[in-house]
Structure 1
Amino acid sequence: MKVLLVEDDKLLGESLKAYLQENGIYLEHLHDPREVSPVLAVSTYDVIVLDLMMPHISGEELLKKIRQMDKKTPILILTAKSKMDDKKRCFETGADDYMTKPFEPEELLLRLKALYRRKIGDMVVKVGDVEVDFEKEKVYVRGKPVDLTRKDWMLLKYLVENRGRFVPSEEILNYVWGDKPVGDEVVRAHVKNLRKLLPEGFIVSMKGRGYKIEA
């Protein structure tokens, strides 16, 4: 799972990053809310975690801006505001979950996993001879495990989540590499790696449209 945390408390952000990554979740931390719009323009996430009490722009206003840019990604509010009016305002603006500080990191982990399950549906998906376990981040071909690099896993995961449609290279770059300066040739190289490990024809490509895994 790839998560974006928008939290101006740098110490809290770094501690959450360490905890979540120990539990298999890749987290990017932004402490300046003004960076969110540029980052979302070039990167894609599975869940966004958003504080409300931040400098420069309120979390409520930022939530509204994010929802204008992205209608689908689940958003979890993580804040010290505990009044019902605050919760109501956020849910009506587009938040999917609301968690108040102080909190247990394990509860945040459980809520992130729940939002992710709700987003993708089944946590284990079988497509032909390939089985993908999103929670354990494991891939099996005809019952045998396949070892993937982190980038190969993220690319395959994204294609399987979007199976049935052609996914443009730019969209893959945004999810797997974010704002890193890499191009289409990197996507092609990783797709080539995956094709060596997966059944022939599992990943379909079409020039100008991208890559697809049949539903």
Structure 2
Amino acid sequence: MRVLIIEDDTILCESLKEYLKTKDIVSDYLPDEREYFNYLNNYTYDVIILDLVLRYLKGEDILKHIRSKGISTPVLILTSKENISDKETCFTFGADDYLTKPFNLRELVLRIKSLSNRSHIHSLIKIDNITVDIDAQVIYKDSEEVNLSKIAWNLFYLLLKHRGEIVYNDTIMGYVWGDKPSSDEIIRTYVKMLRKILPPDAISTYKGRGYKLNL
């Protein structure tokens, strides 16, 4: 899972990043919120965590702009603003959840996971002799469970979320590997693993660009 944190408190962001990492949640944070649209255009996120009180822009305006561009990624507002009028504004603009500071880290993780689960594609998908159980993160071929690493699953899930679309290598690296070293060659290795499991021509290669799932 990968989240984007739009928050200008770098100390809080670093603490959040380290804690989320212990829960297998990769995170990017933007101390300069003006970069948010560039990140959303170039990377895929499961949840966006958004503060309302920022250095240059209003969080409410960012939320409104995100939704106006058709970005449906769940947004969790994390802010010190606790008035009901602030909450009403954010939910009207398309927020999915609202948590006030100070907050409990465990509760934050529970809310992130809940939002991510809500946005998941159908939990059980059948394609020819392949069955995909999204919730269990398992692929079955001819009713037999396929031994799949976590990295291979994350790559498959990313392609599945965007099936029919080209998923670019930079997006794959960011979503699957996060801060860990990766390369086009490493991606190719895991694509080969998936091709051994999936039907022929299930994954198209766009040389030097990315991959597309055709299921």
TM range, smaller chain: 0.7 to 0.9
1:168 corresponds, among 155, 166, 169, to 166
Letter in 1 for 2:104: E
SS at match of 2:20: helix
Residue pairs, 1:8-23, within 5 angstroms: 8-23=8-23
Tell me what 1:62 maps to.
62
- Per the TM alignment, residue 210 of structure 1 is displaced from its structure 2 partner at its CA by 4.9
Distance 2:15 2:135 in 1: 22
The percentage of aligned residue pairs carrying the same residue is: 37
Q: Does residue 1:26 correspond to 2:29, yes or no?
A: no
For 1:35-114, list aligned pairs within 5 A.
35-114=35-114
1:146 aligns with 2:144: no
Count of residue correspondences: 208
CA contact (8 A) 2:159 2:167 kept: no
* 1:41 Cα deviation after fit: 2.1
Residue by residue, what CA displacement relative to the aligned partner does 1:45-85 show, whole Å, maximum 9, x if unpaired?
11101011111111112222222334311111000101011
Instruction: Check conservation: 2:138, 2:146, Cα contact below 8 A.
Output: yes
Unaligned runs of 5+ in 1: none
**C-alpha separation in 2, matches of 1:134 and 1:29:** 27
Return the alpha-carbon distance in structure 1 between the equivalents of residues 139 and 54 of structure 2: 40
Instruction: Note the aligned Cα RMSD (angstroms).
Output: 3.1
AA at the equivalent of 2:145: K
Write out per-residue CA displacement over residues 139-171 of structure 1, whole angstroms, 9 at most, x where no aligned residue: 555443523252x33220122334xx422143x
Gaps of 5+ in 2: none
* TM-aligned CA distance change 1:33 to 1:199, over 3 Å: closer
Query: Cα 1:6–1:206, aligned 2, differ >3 Å: closer, same or farther?
Result: closer
Q: Taking structure 1 as reference, are residues 24 and 136 closer, same or farther at Cα in structure 2, changes over 3 Å only?
A: farther
My pick for the range that moved more, 12-21 or 140-149, is 140-149
Deviation at 1:27, TM superposition (A): 1.4
In the TM superposition, what whole-angstrom CA distance separates every residue of 1:196-215 from its partner, at most 9, and x where no partner exists? 3x14438343769952253x
**TM-score relative to the length of structure 1:** 0.79
- Rounded to whole Å, the distance in 2 between the matches of 1:126 and 1:16 is 37
Counterpart Cα distance in 1 of 2:134 and 2:173 = 15
Aligned partners of 1:173 and 1:187 also within 8 Å = no
CA spacing shift, 1:128–1:160, aligned 2, 3 Å: farther
Q: Distance in 2 between matches of 1:121 and 1:193?
A: 23
TM-score, with structure 2 as normaliser: 0.79
- Distance apart, 1:34 and its partner CA: 1.5
